[in-house]
Amino acid sequence: MDEEATQAPVNAKLTSVGEMDSSLEDEAKRIGDEAVELFSEDFDTNKEQGFEWYALNTYSGYEKRVKRNIECRTRNYDEADFHPSEYILDVEVPLEDVEQHTEKGKRNIEGRVRIPGYVLINMKEDKRAINFVQETEGVTSFVEMNHKPVALSKKEVMNMMTSFIRRNAVKEANLKSPDKIVEVKYKVGENVNIITDPFAGLHGIISEVLPEAQKLKVTISAFGRDTPMDLGFNQVEKIEEA
């Protein structure tokens, strides 16, 4: 069998894998979009029934615990004249998946709290319900104005919840979320100091950041001209401005 004949199936297979990946990304996007649209519709419906979204202040690092505390107390509270479940519809801590790139390599963080120190709650404005929430362990206060909880606008809620809604919907479908946040220590235009030989001690300016490769394109002044170099994250350090 000649070489050309043996290559055809391999190329076909590669094309098939690429098409499959693209198809899964499209499916993930569709599922995420539908989930966000449904949340938007529910927001309007619940608002008509008197439910508003509010922000609770809590200690950073206690957000998930506060959510569990409120949900647990709401389920188990048993008083004849007051049922919290009639006033509290939902409690959420928006989370995000992060891919961090530093000089130590890549690190994936799943479920990082997106807004540290805050918990969102969808509830009716009722004095007993407000007191019930404020008495929950870990809650410091509602976000207030003139000593009264301030309802969040739909735009504010959507800004805080959209990526979280998409993330959850895609994960439930066992697909990869397209909304992963990539965090890189370095930025284009920053000044860096080269710390490894043979150019240790020279300064340069970052012209491009390549997270997946853990590399930077850095322009240094050497031999009387600007010279571009490819350097690893671990070969430079940022020059902090005074």
CA angle 90, 155, 25 (to 5 degrees): 80
17 pLDDT exceeds 80? no
230 strand-pairing partners: 217
220 pLDDT exceeds 60? yes
Instruction: Compute the distance between CA of residue 144 and CA of residue 47 in angstroms, rounded to an integer.
Output: 19
Q: For the chain, list the domains and their CATH numbers.
A: 3-183 (3.30.70.940), 185-238 (2.30.30.30)
* DSSP line for 101-134: EETTEEEEEEEEESSTTEEEEEEE--HHHHHHHH
Q: What is the mean pLDDT of residues 10-21?
A: 52
Q: Using alpha carbons, select from 117, 121, 151 the residue that is nearest to residue 134.
A: 121
- Of 22-31, 39-48, 117-126, 143-152, least confident by mean pLDDT is 22-31
Contact 230, 182 (CB under 8 A): no
Q: Is the pTM of this model over 0.85?
A: no
> 62 CB contacts (<8 Å, ≥6 apart)?
138
- Average pLDDT value over all residues in the chain: 86
pLDDT tier at 20 (50, 70, 90 boundaries)? low
How many CB atoms lie under 10 A from the CB of residue 16? 10
User: What is the predicted pLDDT for the residue at 37?
Assistant: 97
Q: Which two tokens stand for residue 101?
A: 């790139």
How many residues are there in the chain? 242
- Of 20-34, 38-52, 110-124, least confident by mean pLDDT is 20-34
Contact 34, 169 (CB under 8 A): yes
Q: Using alpha carbons, select from 193, 228, 176 the residue that is nearest to residue 207.
A: 228
Between 168 and 212, residue with greater pLDDT: 168
4 pLDDT exceeds 50? no
pLDDT in tens, 175-215: 877 677 878 888 898 898 888 877 788 888 999 888 877 88
Residue percentage of the chain with pLDDT more than 70: 89
What is the arrangement of strands in the sheet containing 139-142, beginning at the earlier edge strand?
88-92, 118-124, 51-58, 139-142
The residue whose two tokens read 């240094």 is 220
Between 159 and 80, residue with greater pLDDT: 159
Q: Using alpha carbons, select from 159, 49, 9 the residue that is nearest to residue 94.
A: 159
16 pLDDT exceeds 70? no
Residue percentage of the chain with pLDDT more than 90: 48
Instruction: Compute the distance between CA of residue 67 and CA of residue 136 in angstroms, rounded to an integer.
Output: 10
